[in-house]
Amino acid sequence: MKRMQSALWTALFTVLSALYLWPLGVVALNSFKKKAFISRAPFALPTARTWAGFVNYTTGLELTNFAQSAAYSLIITVLSVGLILLCTSMCAWYISRVQTRATHGVYLLCVFSMVVPFQMVMFTLSKVANLLQLNTPFTLPVIYLGFGAGLAVFMFTGYMRSVPVAIEESAMIDGCGPLRIFFGVVAPILQPVMVSTGILETMWIWNDYLLPYLILDLKRYRTIPIAVQYLRGGYGSVDMGAMMAMLVLAIVPIVVLYLFCQKYIVSGIVAGAVKG
């Protein structure tokens, strides 16, 4: 009876999972069809007549300069996440160990910034960033640190509460200065929350569209989401073949990465949620 039930659950969820993945399959198949047949019959399997081979991929790569966009996306994400983890973990340690009115104010500011929608600062932020010449992939991380610090500080301070001060105090008695205490003692303890925070920030920054779109110098730098959106020309004319191919190229690396780091991603989500 029990085994029977278990088999039924498995069968049910196999069907549901297949349905869930079906849209991805449709896009993948369409990326190999001639573009005229994509909008006309998106759910038809490719036939000899509609098969386009890799034409969509080559046009897409050319139209979007995809390889370059991927490189910029990678640079921006890696630098931003690195900078956020370093700076906010230091900040969070300080504000949870030195409790004054000022540090409490910093904490409240961070919590507040988590809720504020981007549209509130969109216009002025892009002007300020231009004024300060922060419009390249190498300087954009400063903006991400500024706008995205909230969540990271919040997660780190939440975790710091469960870390006993005694270890740090004994390190101090042994003659360590604050910097050595942080990098030698605290940072290793923070490792699990570093991973969680890093994953949450990576998911956000890698997929972010509007912030880089408004701030980057678009003639020279585009990220993957910007490149995909640029396939839509003036009023609705879209090369659907190239679009399908680029969607596949945008999705595949994430899925592969996910399958490898699934454990960390899932525990990162859970940790992020508990801290809320």
Partner 1 sequence: MERAVKKYWPVFVLPTMLACLIGFVIPFAMGFSLSFCSFTTLSDAVFTGIDNYIRAFSDTSDSFVHALWYTALFAFLSTALINVLAILVALALVRPFRGVNAFRTVFFMPNLIGGIVLGWLWQVILNGILARWGLTLVSSEWYGFWGLIVVTLWQQMGYMMIIYISGLQSIPHEQLEAAAIDGATALQTFWHVKLPMLMPSVTICLFLTLTNGFKLFDQNLALTAGMPSNRSQLLALNIYSTFYGRTGWAGAGQAKAVVFCAIVVVIAMLQLKWTRNREVQQ
Q: Which is nearer to partner 1, 51 or 183 (CB)?
A: 183
Compute the least distance from the CB of residue 117 to partner 1, in Å: 5
Compute the least distance from the CB of residue 172 to partner 1, in Å: 5
> How many Å apart are CA 45 and CA 84, to the nearest integer?
45
Do the beta carbons of residue 240 and residue 41 sit within 8 Å?
no
Compute the least distance from the CB of residue 48 to partner 1, in Å: 21
> How many Å apart are CA 265 and CA 88, to the nearest integer?
20
Q: Which is nearer to partner 1, 49 or 263 (CB)?
A: 263
CA dihedral 39, 213, 203, 143 (to 10 degrees): 180
> How many Å apart are CA 243 and CA 249, to the nearest integer?
10
Compute the least distance from the CB of residue 53 to partner 1, in Å: 20
Compute the least distance from the CB of residue 49 to partner 1, in Å: 18
Helix (H) or strand (E) holding 129: helix 118-131
Q: Is 206 helix (H, G, I), strand (E, B) or coil?
A: helix
Report residue 69 as tokens. Answer: 């966009």
